[in-house]
Amino acid sequence: MTMASTPDSASSAASPRNRDDNALVQIADLQMHYRTRDGNDIHALKDVNLKIGESEFVSIVGPSGCGKTTLLRILSGVLARTSGDVTIAGRQLKGPSPEIGVVFQAPILLPWRTVFENVMIPVEVQGRNREQFGARARQLLAMVGLQGFEDKYPSELSGGMQQRVGICRALVHDPSFLLMDEPFGALDAMTRESMNEELQRIWRDSQKTILLVTHSIPEAVYLADRVVVMTPRPGKIVEIIDVDLPRPRLLSMQNTPEFGRFVTAIRRHFNSEGVLDA
Amino acid sequence: MSNAAQESFKTKLGNWALALLTFLIFIGGWEAIVRWLDVPVIILPPPSAILVASWKSFSAGELLFHTAVTMYEVLMGFLLGSICGLLLGFGIALSPLAERIFYPYIIAFQTVPKVAVAPIIVIWFGYGVSSKVIITATIAFFPLLANTIMGLRAAPQDQIDMLVTCTASRWQVFRLVRLPQALPYVFVGLDVAIVLSVIGAIVGEFVGAKAGLGYLILQKNFSFDMPGTFVVLIILSVLGVGLHWIISYLQRRIVFWIDVAGERVTGA
Ligand SMILES: Nc1ncnc2c1ncn2[C@@H]1O[C@H](COP(=O)(O)OP(=O)(O)OP(=O)(O)O)[C@@H](O)[C@H]1O
Ligand SMILES: [Mg+2]
């Protein structure tokens, strides 16, 4: 599957991050109900409408339990939606795709595989060239500061290091659409900031489309073109905020009043909902 | 050698010395009490008498011969039973249909005490080694079956989901996650099965045999040769411990990501 843009969107190259009908990802009237073991119905996602343009960076913030992971699981193709239309690159979403990379909320490494072998899982599963992508895997590991840990086992790594291995695994097969579920939650503040810079650089250089779930409002604003704000019970989108701060963004920008205005605008939702988050 | 390694070497040496000392005190105490209280050899033979008996038994060639026979029965029965348990375990874990068809019979079969079935098997398969191999196999079978089924179902859903998002097929999920996750369980099954296999072979020999350590015990018993009986018992326990040790060794090498305490290391 290629996510090459249609001739239409190629002509509107002036605004590559369009949200018109040529959007890479189109989610319309998405509903998700879970049925629990004791027969209860949980309305996890209600009337979710969202379009994500090619090469756009979108962040999702929202309190615990508002359906962020659920939305990502649907987009990654492992969870069947209750109803609604989801198309990716013009095709109805039916299942997992090699063009999608997923960073999970937990690292989910296989303990009997070394760090390198864990990163190589998508390459192996998709039958890609081991040598070419092996070199890429080593590069990615070096980029996240794990050079020299290639032959260690997950149990020999700290939680934050394991999470970084999970990030490399999502990137190794060079997917054009990246889904990230709180990828930096387990990292210390300093590593987290440098990972944020690194992610911004990867996104700029590779033109990937990224959907990032985070608990940190400043992180969401710093990285995204748009921030999607969700609230729980039932999980729905309450606002989508355009972040028109200039790029490339510097970490020092976080102290400017412009940046602060975005943070305040987002935080307002959680204060009014009575859920203080981040 | 680093300081820490030196320390651990010292502790190991100390532990060995302690174990050896305990053993010597136990043997010495046993010898002393038997002599001091003048216990008849027919009730409890002293270690010295057992040592003499084992030398006699060994040099007559009977010990080696009967040990070899029992070893053969144990190993062949263990292999036959484990392979059957493993294969059927795979079938049942992967196919709900196979589970519905076979499982009731398997449970019924498992509830029947194998000791009660042994005489029938001896009648069917004769007094030679084959009946003992079959009896041993029926005992080794179930631990493998139960543990294989449990192991193949033990893979955490998030690991499976992770592979599925990478577009893994059912077969790839099986090979990359289900199978490795089942290995620790299979080894638990093997460990239980190997110890039970020794018991199985001896039970078979008790029911009716022409050779083997079980046969030898009965013979020694009939001729009131208590030291000789003890020799066979000691050989049997050494055999059991040795086989268990081999399985544990393989387990530590192959399922290396599980730590010694049996605690699961998830790595995630
Ligand atoms: N498999 C499931 N079965 C039943 N209910 C579920 C299941 N998975 C999630 N839910 C419910 O759906 C709702 C949304 O869950 P989800 O995991 O998407 O939240 P989240 O926004 O990712 O939360 P967090 O920030 O804590 O990760 C929750 O109320 C949760 O209890
Ligand atoms: Mg979540």
More confidently predicted of A186 and A255:
A255
Q: Whose CA is closest to A212, among A253, A254, A245, A170?
A: A170
Optimal mutation site among B159, B161, B164, B166, interface A, most CBs of chain A within 10 A: B166
CA B224 to chain centroid:
29
Q: What is the pLDDT of residue A17?
A: 47
| Sequence ranges of the domains in chain A | 7-35+42-99+175-271, 113-174
A42 ligand 1 Cβ < 6 A: yes
Cβ contacts of B162 on chain A, cutoff 8 Å: 102, 104, 108, 121
Per-residue model confidence (pLDDT) at position B2: 61
Q: What is the full per-residue pLDDT of chain B (268 aa) written as tens digits?
A: 566 677 778 888 888 999 899 999 999 999 999 889 888 888 888 888 888 888 888 888 888 999 999 999 999 999 999 999 999 999 998 888 888 888 888 888 888 888 888 999 999 998 889 999 999 999 999 999 999 999 999 999 999 999 999 999 999 999 999 999 999 999 999 999 999 999 999 999 999 888 999 999 999 888 888 888 999 999 999 999 999 999 999 999 999 998 644 444 444 3
Residues A39, A96: Cα–Cα separation, whole Å = 28
Closest Cα in chain B to A125:
B168
**B268 → closest Cβ in A95, A125, A162:** A162
- Round to whole Å and give the CA distance between A277 and A267: 8
Q: How far is the CA of A30 from the centre of ligand 2 (A)?
A: 18
Residues A216, A52: contact at Cβ < 8 Å?
A: no
How far apart CA B110 and CA B117 sit, in angstroms, is 11
Ligand 1: does its nearest atom lie under 6 Å from the Cβ of A30?
no
Give the pLDDT confidence score for residue A9 in this predicted structure.
39
Cβ A63 under 6 angstroms from ligand 1: no
Indicate whether A58 pLDDT > 90: yes
Nearest of A175, A169, A176 to residue A144 by alpha carbon: A169
Nearest CA to ligand 1 atom 19: A65
pLDDT digits (tens, 9 = 90+) for A63-109: 888 999 999 999 999 998 999 889 888 888 888 999 999 999 899 99
Is the Cβ of A238 closer than 8 Å to some Cβ of chain B?
Answer: no
A36 lines ligand 1 (CB under 6 A): yes
Q: Which atom from ligand 1 is nearest to the alpha carbon of A215?
A: 25
In whole angstroms, give the CA distance from residue B14 to residue B139: 39
Q: Once rounded to an integer, what is the mean pLDDT over residues A218-244? A: 91
* Interatomic CA distance for residues B48 and B37, integer angstroms: 16
Q: Could you tell which of A30, A32, A34 is best to mutate to test the pocket of ligand 1, judged by most ligand atoms within 8 Å of the CB?
A: A34
Contacts of B122 (CB under 8 A, 6+ apart): B131, B135, B204, B207, B208
Q: Could you report the per-residue pLDDT of A106-136, keeping only the tens digit for each? A: 999 999 999 999 999 999 999 998 999 999 9
Alpha helices in chain A (DSSP H): 7-11, 68-75, 115-119, 121-125, 130-143, 159-171, 189-206, 217-223, 257-272
pLDDT at B164: 95
Element housing A33 (H / E) = strand A25-35
Q: What topology is assigned to A7-35+42-99+175-271 in CATH?
A: Rossmann fold (3.40.50)
| Inter-chain CB proximity A155 and B267 less than 8 Å | yes
Mutation target to probe the B interface, by most B beta carbons within 10 A, among A110, A151, A211 is A110
Q: How far apart are CA A12 and CA A55, in angstroms?
A: 14
Helices within B95-225 (DSSP H only) = 96-111, 114-125, 129-152, 157-165, 170-173, 179-207, 213-222
Q: Which residue has the tokens 């198309």?
A: A87
Interface of A with B in 144-163 (CB under 8 A): 153-155, 162
- Which pLDDT tens digit goes with each residue over A8-49? 433 333 344 444 567 888 898 998 999 888 888 888 899 999
Residue A7 clears pLDDT 50, i.e. is over it: no
Phi-psi region of A251 (alpha: psi -120 to 50; beta: other; left: phi over 0): alpha
For tokens 């019924």, the residue is B108
- Summarize the confidence of residues A165-180 as an average pLDDT: 93
Flag whether residue A112 sits within 8 Å of chain B, measured between CB atoms: yes
Q: How many residues are present in chain B? A: 268
- pTM for this entry: 0.82
